[in-house]
Chain A
Amino acid sequence: MHEMSVLNNLMNKVTELNALHGGKRVISMKLRLGALSHFTPQHFREHFDFASRGTVAEGARLELTQMTDETDPDAQGVVLESLEFET
């Protein structure tokens, strides 16, 4: 039930980082999906397509890693590992 909320938070952070680093748009994003995050890569892509519309991240390439360790401290979350901007 919190998918859109997580994506909105992510879009806010990405927009903030893009501006901070003088990016024109986001080319790619690398993320880890926690084992207990309730996201599969396909599920995440569907929400991302919707949440990124009209933002600097629209059309960005996603590199997603589905984690399997339920004891990982970030198992319930989505971790943005890196961002590639067009400068």
Chain B
Amino acid sequence: MSSSESSEPGKSKTIKVDYLARVEGEGSLYLKIRDGAVEDAKLKIFEPPRFFEAFLRGRDFREAPDITARICGICPVAYLMSACHAMESVCGVRVDGQLRALRRLLYCGEWIESHGLHVFMLHAPDFYGFDDAVAMAKAHPELVQRGLRLKKLGNAIMTALGGREVHPINIKLGGFYRAPRRRELDALRGELEWAREFTAVALARLKELEFPDFERDYEFMGLRHPSEYPLNEGRLVSSAGVDEPISRYDCVLREVHVAHSTSLQSRRVGGGPVHMGPMARYALNHDKLPPEVQQLARDAGLGARCQNPFQSVLVRMVEIAYAVHEAARIIAEYAEPDAPAIAVEPRAGTGYGATEAPRGVCYQRYTIDDAGVITDCKIVAPTSVNQAVIEEDLRVFAGARAELPDEQLRWQCEQAIRNYDPCISCSCHFLKLDVERV
């Protein structure tokens, strides 16, 4: 912002500003504290609704991946992949072989860039005591630079497969518009090797951070696949014994509207809030991680299950290590497919898709007619599912800190929310804290 002034004394003053207005996080936290104990905690989300489900109706089924990708600039792959799987399930198509492997590779790119952004740019500054990554860069330039290099690798994988870093344009039902050439993927191997070494170094540093003493007995929910750590496919399982096909998602989780949020919350039918995302995936699928990655987790002090949400920074880093490992494996085994996609013809029916977005399960359900026109649609973002468990965390966490001055309480509560890497603008420093002390 630049400024200059002109004035008419006693009347008015004009200043030149040149300020670019920015989008602010639309969230706030309400805490009601009675006699030093938290009586109520509400995470208020008042982003206006975006009506994606409404305007997908009437569109061609082939458009769903590109349209839903626009829901998020950080995890577009989650949305377009869930849409692809849902549509392919309606039409009786299964994508296998190298095309399936390429989809996993694309997802690895998204995990690396999304997790990398959160670990190094948003979460790490909390633990090092800085307002943001820019401030942290002065004291720890090498950590921020290498974090950005890691994110750049994720972006490079996205570009190689998706045509560009954000909102890929090369993905379609049945596969890709164009399959990458072998040499294009080989070009990523050097950076993947660097990233493999760096993830071990980063974990060794992150494990030295001081984490608040805070654990909860969550019901973890996520996908589980018989032979791999879940990205694109799996059954919906939970630590409380849920084990269902994705087509039963709506029978397992019920969306509820609460007055203080424009984003629907979710509860397990017959249960309560569930926790999705890296900690859930890790707890439910630890045995599916390669031994090398399991060893990294052990070295970082993690058991087979982590219940301290502040340590999600470690779990995210372990998942980055896995994504790097998996990407290197897929590239090493890659053989250019005969065709970049298989044909998907419309067939009337309802299909379900769920994939593991960086923040948890991204679920979509579509009904299409014989001509492939979408007649019904449901999309559930993982952050909306996690809202209720975030509120529960805040109730417990703030309860033990109710005597802190409001500003300090706000800062610590922001960190507790950031543990979930919420895909609202609020994952940056944002919180309007409204404390009612009675």
Binding site for B on A (CB under 8 A): 1-2, 4-10, 12-13, 17, 21, 23, 27, 74, 77-87
Contact = CB atoms under 8 A, between A and B. Distances in A.
Interface residues of B, number: 23
21 contacts: A5-B24, A5-B47, A6-B21, A6-B23, A9-B22, A10-B21, A13-B17, A17-B17, A23-B13, A77-B21, A78-B20, A80-B18, A80-B21, A82-B15, A83-B14, A85-B12, A85-B14, A86-B11, A86-B12, A87-B10, A87-B12
A21 B13 contact: yes
A5 B425 contact: yes
Contacts of B425: 5
Nearest to B3: A17
Identify which of A5, A7, A74, A87 gathers the most chain B CB atoms within 10 Å of its CB.
Answer: A5
Contacts of A21: 5, 13, 15
Top 4 closest pairs, chain A to chain B, by CB = A10-B21, A84-B14, A80-B19, A78-B21
Nearest to B8: A87
Interface of B: 5, 7, 10-26, 47-48, 50, 425
A8 B24 contact: yes
Contacts of A5: 23-26, 47, 425
Contacts of A74: 20
A85 B19 contact: no
A31 to B, nearest CB: 8
Main DSSP-derived SS at the A contact region: mixed
Given A4-B48, A5-B26, A87-B7, A13 B21 contact: yes
Given A1-B47, A4-B48, A84 B18 contact: no
A77 B13 contact: no
Contacts of A1: 47-48, 50
B23 A2 contact: yes
Contacts of B18: 79-81
Contacts of A85: 12-15
Contacts of A79: 18-21
A85 B11 CA distance: 8
Nearest to B16: A82
A13 B12 contact: no
A78 B11 CA distance: 28
Contacts of A6: 21-23
A82 B19 CA distance: 9
A71 B324 CA distance: 36
A21 B5 CA distance: 10
Given A1-B47, A5-B425, A17 B23 contact: no
Contacts of B5: 21
B23 A82 contact: no
Contacts of B22: 6, 9, 77
Contacts of B25: 5
Contacts of A82: 14-17
A18 to B, nearest CB: 10
A81 B16 contact: yes
A12 B20 CA distance: 12
A86 to B, nearest CB: 5
A12 B47 CA distance: 18
Given A77-B21, A82-B16, A87-B11, 14 more contacts: A1-B48, A1-B50, A2-B23, A5-B23, A5-B47, A8-B24, A80-B19, A82-B17, A83-B15, A83-B17, A84-B12, A84-B13, A86-B11, A87-B7
A69 B17 CA distance: 21
Contacts of B11: 86-87
Contacts of B13: 21, 23, 84-85, 87
